[in-house]
């Protein structure tokens, strides 16, 4: 039985309260450095050409996993874990790229790579060969903006796949992508807003339902990833003396771990650093990494794109891998540097190693457990436990919503959703009651989408005292 864990997907509206409660983002942290162990072949184009990598994990032999790196002047390269270029697709100047598994297309579930075509109003898609890891074209969709940054998102609420793009002017668009019924990818615009100024780096968390965007010269922001969450946002960190980031804020990546833990990583391009935060909001600052020269490989500077995985990738990277673009490669044109995760975590006590989370499970069919039990009254910050009462087999990803309404001083707040993954033998889940200024009643109801029909539990009142 798959060992997916239970994760919390919290709406931006409710988490504004948690952000205020969290205290300073500048407390604590470690500064440390490590050396990469592998570098890829240089990209073909000279100058500022390499930009953004994404990782694909082989379904049977992790040592055959691949790195897809953009050459924003010419196309998309495929590298093995020794850094050798295996394939180059010179069919569009792809600026940024991202990947998700289990996208339904032409009767199959494929690993899908989405790429923003530099300075053009389109998104290009490739599918991954499940044996070789090589790429082939899978279509494109038009956009309303000249694409710059890009990320994919799989909604834990609906199971739908989305692609998000932004522009050098700070415009943002989100598209629902799907098979149009003929085996081709179609896209429907579902959200648009302005970040404020130039933004490129983006990453979405498929379980918390959060979307992180780097406004290059200003700040790192968190938005809701669902299309109905609007443009409300929470400040995570900022450039300048009051933050840990030095402009530009560039590549973003998420290290997934069990029980909702893990890390958000940002490329702080202006000072050649990588900033680590807690993955869960309010994303407290943890540490600052430098990638320095060693073992015949030069250090990493002025990084654009990054990616990370916790997965065991075989003998060279048994505890995960961090990949970063290098702006000034001493062997010629720009390239990508590979650093084993255990080297990074081994040098920083704030970070851990966890290979148990499987990113290939995102978008797979789920087994859902509906929680129903009376709770009563709790104090703010006290742990609330929900007990398993029913097991439901389902063929589609689902969301369980706890939070029929949250009333305080006559106001109604958006509900707080909890994502329930595949069954892993647990009989209960816990979460801390949110901080409140006055007594609040939270009405909890489990809602599961089962084969297209909604299955609900009884409504449970929970009173939270300050």
Residue range 98-109, pLDDT digits in tens:
999 988 888 788
Q: Cα 340 from chain centroid?
A: 20
Instruction: Tell me how far apart the alpha carbons of residues 448 and 165 are, in angstroms, rounded to a whole number.
Output: 30
Measured CA distances, 143 to 109, 360, 399 (Å): 25, 28, 29
Burial grade of 350 (CB within 10 A; 0-12, 13-18, 19 or more): middle
Long-range contacts at 74-77 (CB < 8 A, ≥ 24 apart): 74/43, 74/44, 74/45, 74/49, 76/113, 76/115, 76/126, 76/135, 77/40, 77/41, 77/43
Q: What was the pLDDT predicted at 459?
A: 60
Q: How much is the pTM?
A: 0.75
Task: Report CA Rg, the chain.
Answer: 22
Closest by CA position to 87, among listed 116, 151, 44: 44
Evaluate the omega torsion of the peptide bond into residue 287 and state whether it is cis, within 30 degrees of 0: no
Q: Which two tokens stand for residue 295?
A: 């073992």
- Which DSSP string do the residues of 30-44 spell out, in sequence order? EEEEE--SEEPPPPS
Domains of the chain: 22-359 (2.120.10.30), 367-465 (2.60.40)
Residue range 36-94, pLDDT digits in tens:
999 999 999 988 889 999 999 999 999 999 999 999 999 999 999 999 999 999 988 99
Q: What was the pLDDT predicted at 378?
A: 77
Closest by CA position to 96, among listed 143, 164, 31: 164
Q: What was the pLDDT predicted at 35?
A: 97
Q: What was the pLDDT predicted at 409?
A: 44
Instruction: Pinpoint the alpha helices (H) of 186-322.
Output: none
Closest by CA position to 402, among listed 390, 414, 389: 414
Contact (CB, 8 A) for 185 and 177: yes
Instruction: Tell me how far apart the alpha carbons of residues 307 and 152 are, in angstroms, rounded to a whole number.
Output: 13
What residues of the chain score a pLDDT lower than 70? 1-29, 364-375, 386-431, 434, 440-461
Q: What was the pLDDT predicted at 444?
A: 62
Q: What was the pLDDT predicted at 456?
A: 59
Q: What was the pLDDT predicted at 341?
A: 98
């Amino acid at each position: 039985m798959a060992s997916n864990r239970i994760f919390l997907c919290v709406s931006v509206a409710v988490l504004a309260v948690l952000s205020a409660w969290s205290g300073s983002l500048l407390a604590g942290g470690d500064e440390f450095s490590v050396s990469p162990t592998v570098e890829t072949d240089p990209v073909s184009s000279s100058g500022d050409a390499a930009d953004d990598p994404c990782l694909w994990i082989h379904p049977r032999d992790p040592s055959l996993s691949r790195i897809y790196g953009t050459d924003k002047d010419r196309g998309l390269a495929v590298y093995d874990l020794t850094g050798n270029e295996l394939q180059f697709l010179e069919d569009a100047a792809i600026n940024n790229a991202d990947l998700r598994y289990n996208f339904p297309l032409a009767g199959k579930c494929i690993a899908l790579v989405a790429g923003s075509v530099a300075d053009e109003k389109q998104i290009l898609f490739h599918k991954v060969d499940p044996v070789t890891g090589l790429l082939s074209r899978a279509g494109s969709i038009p956009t309303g903006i000249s694409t710059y940054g890009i990320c994919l998102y799989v909604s834990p609420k609906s199971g739908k796949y989305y692609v998000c793009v932004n522009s050098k002017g700070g415009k943002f668009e989100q598209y629902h992508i799907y098979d149009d019924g003929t085996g081709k990818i179609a896209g429907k615009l579902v959200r648009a807003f302005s970040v404020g100024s130039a933004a490129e780096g983006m990453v979405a968390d498929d379980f918390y339902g959060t979307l992180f965007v780097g406004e290059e010269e200003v700040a790192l922001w968190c938005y809701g990833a669902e299309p109905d969450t609007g443009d409300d946002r929470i400040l995570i960190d900022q450039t300048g003396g009051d933050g840990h980031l030095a402009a530009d804020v560039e590549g973003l990546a998420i290290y997934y771990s069990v029980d909702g833990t893990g890390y958000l990583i940002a490329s702080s391009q202006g000072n050649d650093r990588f900033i680590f935060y807690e993955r869960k909001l309010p994303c407290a600052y943890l540490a600052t990494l430098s990638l320095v020269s060693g073992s015949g490989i030069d250090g990493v500077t002025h990084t654009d794109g990054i990616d990370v995985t916790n997965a065991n990738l075989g003998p060279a990277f048994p505890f995960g891998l961090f990949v970063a673009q290098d702006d000034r490669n001493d062997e010629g044109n720009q390239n990508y540097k590979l650093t084993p995760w255990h080297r990074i975590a081994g040098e920083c006590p704030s970070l851990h190693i966890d290979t148990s989370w499987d990113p290939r499970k995102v978008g797979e069919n789920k087994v859902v457990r509906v929680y129903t039990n009376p709770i009563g009254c709790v104090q703010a910050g006290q742990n609330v436990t929900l007990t398993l009462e029913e097991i439901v087999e389902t063929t589609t990803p689902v969301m369980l919503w706890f939070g029929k309404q949250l009333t305080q001083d006559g106001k109604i707040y958006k509900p707080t959703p909890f994502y329930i993954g595949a069954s892993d033998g647990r009989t209960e889940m816990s979460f801390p009651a949110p901080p409140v200024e006055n007594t609040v009643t939270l009405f909890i109801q489990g809602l599961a989408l089962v084969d297209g029909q909604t299955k609900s539990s009884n409504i449970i009142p929970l009173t939270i005292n300050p």
